[in-house]
Structure 1
Amino acid sequence: MTRNIYAILVLLCTVLPACRKEETTQLSGDPIADTVVPSAKEILSFTFEAKNNPQQLVRDVVCHVYEDHISGCIPYLSSNKSLIATFNTTGTSVIVNGVVQQTGVTSNDFSRPLTFTVKAADNTTKDYTLQLFTFTGLPILYIETENPVVSKDDYVKGHMTIDANTKYPQAVTDMQLEMRGRGSSTWNMPKKPYRIKLNTKTEMLGMPAAKKWVLLANFADKTLLRNYLALEIGRRFEAAFTPRARFVEVILNGEFMGNYLLTDQVEVGATRVNIPELKPSSTATDISGGYLLEVDERLDETVWFRSQLQVPFTIKSPEDITSAQLDYIRNYIQQTENTLYSPGFADPVEGYSKYINTPTFINWFLVNELLKNNDAVFFSSVFMYKDRNAKLSMGPIWDFDLALGNVTYNGNNIPEGWWVKNAAWINRLFDDPVFVKQVKDRWNILKATQISTLYTFINESAAQLKYSQQENFNKWDLLYNYTWPNAVSLGSYDSEVQYMKDWLAKRIKWMDAEINKL
């Protein structure tokens, strides 16, 4: 879905209440001009009248007709989109999928965009693409589970129906799944984050097919945007394997749970971290890769180890790691660390660059330092991967709830000051003048090409959530209340978004000055 459509949706839903107050005029569908213009083929008005759709609608839905498209919004949950339209046209006929339409009579399935072709008296035609949105305009996930989801460890079986709300392609709309909780501190919050595992690999809202997906609740982020913005910056900065994401509404066991961010699961896979997947049966010649590791002080995996500097590494993949594989990656990590802190660490041949993929470290650093991500000081959600016969790389980026000034401790509410630069390994890399120059050069390229339009992206994303955030905060009464670990509590959604933009502007200014002083 393009950003233009989001803007149209916002405009549309803004004017709808006024439209509903007006008396609806009966439309005939016949040309309204006394003299027929042979080439006339316009749709003049388009409405879904409640009297013609009593099962689906509470009140009339007046659509907006533009040059070549029509947009409508049903501002409440409605899963049945088989509707009868009432329209007025200057053409001689209107056709959808080869079927001649009768105003106020013909029913169509509007769960996907439809093309209305208007035919003129001279047999010329004009196409209008119609998109009908529901509720807040975001895709809606209807999830039913056999039992309540109360554990981070135990999956519960269930079923999901997806209403893509005409925003994204979604060939499969019904699927079986398993669902469990996820997260650390976030799992203890009232609005729970979840992990879902589909029975079959499936494309989700235009994202590549996979089984495992994540639903981020963003409970403590009153903009609902920080993770989404961070992933956008990751793509712009070319951070390795940055996850994709879509905003959705979640209805769980009949209860509206609010706005969620549906994302890729960080895992090894052809459409995720695309490296070879090691198995217990893998031969000894394959032992150099691939590995997915997480620096995680919580040690939230079955297999983990600490380096000599006490950096905590957990094994994300392979899940069934053999002793030989574990020995290999643990030794490789320690060899990397030993070299990094050796006197000759900056040697271009035998120094750290022999072991690490430096550009991935730089891109990862710039994303996390720019956003002053609280957990990125090698505490948690710091991912590394090692491809087969390749160096150690940083990524994917992940977990930005406590970023962009949304935290009260470690001084990370303040836009000034280094943070991730002080982390283990990273601080040592900055002792190398060559690495410093690479960081400086990379920053200046990105600042010149990727930074200035971030504020527009934030504004457009906030506009996309205009109605979703209202429903979310009707469900979760947070805007006027302090929520751990917020640095501010400003009482309105727009104020929260503006605080984040102001913080980011100050951070960019500080980063630019300080990086260029290095």
Structure 2
Amino acid sequence: MKGKIIFGAVFLLLVSFVFSACGSKEEEIHEHSYVAVEYEATCVSDGYVEYSCECGERYTEKTDDKLGHIYFWSLVSEEENEIKEEGKCVRCGDVSEKISNVSSYDYDTADTTYLRYVENEVPLNLSEYCTEESVAPLSELLSEIAENKGHLKNYELCDYAEKIEQAIDSLQYRGNNITQIFISSEEEITNDDYVSCQIAVVPSDKDETPFIYDALSEIKVRGNSTALADKKGYNFKFSSKNNLFGFGEAKKWSLLANAYDKTLIRNKIALDLAKDMGIEYSPESTFVDVWLNGKFVGNFQLTESVEARDCRVDIDIENGDWLLEIESSRVETDVDYIITPEYGIRFAVNEPENITEEQQREIYDKIGKVETAIKSGDYSSVENVIDTKSFATFYVFSEFMKQVDFSYSSTRFYFKDDILYAGPGWDFDLSSGNVSGDYEDYLKYNNENGFGENTGKSSDGLWVSSFPWYDALLNYPEFLSLVKNTFSANANILRNVFQDNILGRSKINILQSDFGSSFSRNYASAGWSFSQDIGGGRPVTGNYNDCVDYLRIWFSERYAYLDSKY
């Protein structure tokens, strides 16, 4: 049984006594500080969480029912009147034995657990993505089992199960130039709660990722404003960890619809650029074609979720690390928020979740020390509490992308070993010139109607510098020098977004070459409107290629503007 610490302090208030410190009796309240250790369910025992305090107090809470054995049966001997079978559990290796009288063999109670276990691995809707020739043997096996299940011995059932596994391994997928994800669910998919679904990940002709089928997956609509678009994005969870495209093993993944960005590539460009510039824990992503309940629903960006995990944001929540996200106004009942003491910035606490009052005081104090240092005028004090290199790199990256909501939502920072780092980036639909509207901030973004620099060009104007922390940091000559050096060091990487250079073909050209046919299918086959204006995105003029050309020119002009400043 494997134990895993899952979160830090939990407080239990007992009315009978008060302890100022664990174990010293006083008068009214007894406060324990618990560490929780999660134990996974096994074949013979329930899953549970054990809460323990350093004083010796402990209790447990059940989380899952025991799994039960799944035996693979094999024939040991079959004589005139007796059948001897041996079973080995595929989960834990436990061995069992059955001896049955041939004349009275009870077929109705034959152990079908292993067969059911294998049948659950048979993907649904195979005809959607496999060739008829490769599906036929599997269909024949399933038909044979259905006809004879009530007349088969245990080991015969297991023989069929092995044949099913072999038939699954022999499936041939219909050719496609990018990976496809097939999702089936009998429930309505909303942004309220996860619902059950089946997911098949079908590799492309290039075999960038293995075939995966999970009948016990879960899915929900993702996002807030993006959830209002007709084309929904999704978060989904496998029942066990899978490594997609070599991005690392995880259960939770995201499918970005990119509905507000007609080019479909701004989020991909941003995440790749962040990684190229060395911004730690920037999510990996790629494009896929997605099918939902048999209907093609378009091109989506499969990406890692931003969460504190070994292969995601690699921080140690149990030992005082934090993942924070700027959230100026949104309120969600299951999210904790803090407002910083010096600058009044409102953060959502991404992780840890469900923080205690003590933890809330802890993070408030941590940020307080950072903000005090930033305001102090003493750069050495700043260097003691933040990673200035990460702040400078994230600043250059963010100014280049010019994400409209940088100071309001989706911008993250994390504490690691008591030092604050900037990043990773997220949510770039409304960035790099893809902004319109009469909001004052949008007019300022676009330098229109007397706002901003009033040039009428969104590629002009510093944007991230108005965020309180950066506004203060840029007044330090040392930090400004670091920003200038960072911009210079990343010049080729930034230019390579929009033009071919010493690093190779431009990012925009590569994406059009590799995924252009899928982008076309998103509009022509899935039927999403190209001309309809959505949300705060830039009004569409011309065709798809015109929008890509606009983006290319915008990045070129943005680089030139920043080059004149730094």
Q: TM-score, normalised by structure 1?
A: 0.70
C-alpha change, 1:158 and 1:477, in structure 2 (3 Å) is: closer
* 2:548 aligned to which of 471, 477, 497: 497
The answer to whether the aligner puts 1:352 opposite 2:382 as a matched pair is yes
In 2, Cα distance between equivalents of 1:339 and 1:204: 42
| Equivalent residues in 2 for 1:345-494, closer than 5 Å | 345-348=377-380, 351-377=381-407, 379-387=408-416, 389-408=417-436, 409-413=442-446, 414-448=458-492, 450-452=494-496, 454-455=498-499, 456-474=506-524, 475-494=526-545
Partners of 1:405 and 1:503 within 8 A in 2:
yes
Q: Name 2:266's counterpart in structure 1.
A: 226
C-alpha contact (below 8 Å) 2:496/2:507 kept by paired residues: no
Distance 1:514 1:347, change over 3 A: closer
Which residue number in structure 2 is paired with residue 292 of structure 1?
Answer: 323
Select 1:330's aligned residue among 346, 350, 364: 364
Residue identity opposite 2:459 in structure 1: P
State percent identity of aligned pairs. 29
Question: Which residue in 2 is equivalent to 1:197?
Answer: 237
Superposed CA offset, 1:107-159 (max 9, x none): x8654xxxxxxxxxxxxxxxxxxxx832xx22111001230102x23110111
2:175 alignment partner, SS class: strand
1:383, distance to aligned residue in structure 2 (A):
0.8
On the 8 A contact 2:531/2:540 being kept in 1, the answer is yes
Residue of structure 2 equivalent to 1:116:
none
Q: Which residue of 2 aligns with 1:186?
A: 226
Q: CA deviation at 1:299?
A: 4.1
On the 8 A contact 2:175/2:204 being kept in 1, the answer is yes
Q: Is the partner of 1:418 in helix, strand or coil?
A: coil
Q: Give 1:406 deviation, angstroms.
A: 0.3
Task: Give 1:401's aligned amino acid.
Answer: D
Contact 1:168 1:205 in 2 (8 A): no
Distance 1:381 1:479, change over 3 A: same
2:289 pairs with one of 236, 249, 258: 249
C-alpha contact 2:256 2:302 (8 A) present in aligned 1: yes
Measured at CA, do residues 486 and 264 of structure 1 come closer, stay the same or move farther in structure 2, by a change above 3 Å? same
**Inter-partner Cα distance in structure 2 for 1:81 and 1:480:** 36
Cα distance in 1 for residues equivalent to 2:507 and 2:379: 41
CA distance in 1 between partners of 2:379 and 2:264 (Å): 44
User: Hey, which of these two has a bigger chunk of helix by percent?
Assistant: 2
TM-score with structure 2 setting the length: 0.64
Cα pair 2:399 2:464 within 8 Å, conserved:
yes
2:308 is aligned, of 262, 268, 289, to 268
Contact 2:203–2:211 at 8 Å: present in 1 too? no
Partner of 1:133: 175
- Structure 1 residues 445-489: Cα deviation after superposition (integer angstroms, max 9, x where no partner): 110455336432111101222221222112344323333322231
- Residues 323 and 413 in structure 2, CA contact (< 8 A), matched pair in contact too: yes
SS of the residue 1:376 aligns to:
coil
Letter in 2 for 1:412: Y
- Which residue of 1 is the match for residue 337 of structure 2? 304
Q: 1:158–1:178: 8 Å Cα contact kept in structure 2?
A: yes
Mapped to 2, the partners of 1:215 and 1:446 lie a distance apart of: 29
- After superposition, the C-alpha distances for 1:310-341 in whole angstroms (9 at most, x for unaligned) are 20111111113233222211111122112212
Does the CA contact (< 8 Å) of 1:383 and 1:397 recur in 2? yes
Q: Spell out, residue by residue over 1:150-171, the C-alpha distance to the aligned partner (whole angstroms, 9 max, x if none).
A: 2x23110111011111334434
Whichever residue aligns with residue 415 of structure 2, its letter is K
The amino acid of 1:385's aligned partner reads: Y
How many residue pairs align between the two structures?
378
3-state secondary structure, aligned to 1:271? coil
- AA aligned to 1:313 is F
Instruction: Answer 1 or 2: higher relative contact order, Cα 8 Å, separation at least 6.
Output: 1
Aligned residue for 2:289, secondary structure, equals strand
Distance 2:224 2:203 in 1: 30
How far apart, CA to CA, are the structure 2 residues paired with 1:489 and 1:347?
46
What SS class does the counterpart of residue 375 from structure 1 fall into? coil
Q: Please tell me the residue identity of whatever aligns with 1:354.
A: N
Cα 1:448/1:165, change in 2 over 3 Å: closer
1:241–1:272 CA contact under 8 A, matched in 2: yes
Letter in 2 for 1:445: A
Q: CA deviation at 1:360?
A: 1.1
The one-letter code of the counterpart of 1:293 is L
Report deviation, 1:233: 0.8
CA displacement 1:230-271 (0-9 Å, x = unmatched) = 011101111121000010111111221111001000000000
SS at match of 2:243: strand
Name the CA distance, whole Å, in 1 between partners of 2:478 and 2:556.
28
Aligned residue identity for 2:463: W
Q: What amino acid maps onto 1:295 in structure 2?
A: I
**1:269–1:277: 8 Å Cα contact kept in structure 2?**
no
- Superposed, 1:58-77 pairs within 5 Å as none
Give the distance between the partners of 1:199 and 1:514, measured in 2 at CA: 50
Counterpart of 1:391, as a letter, is I
SS of structure 1 residue aligned to 2:409: coil
SS at match of 1:200: strand
Q: Which of 198, 206, 217 does residue 159 from structure 1 map onto?
A: 198
Conserved? CA contact 1:236–1:450, under 8 Å: no
The residue aligned with 1:211 is 251
Partner letter of residue 274 of structure 1?
D
Runs of 5+ unmatched residues, structure 1: 1-76, 85-107, 112-131, 279-285
- More divergent stretch after superposition (494-503 vs 291-300): 291-300
Residue pair 2:335, 2:354 contacting (<8 A) in 1 also: no
Per-residue deviation at 1:187? 0.5
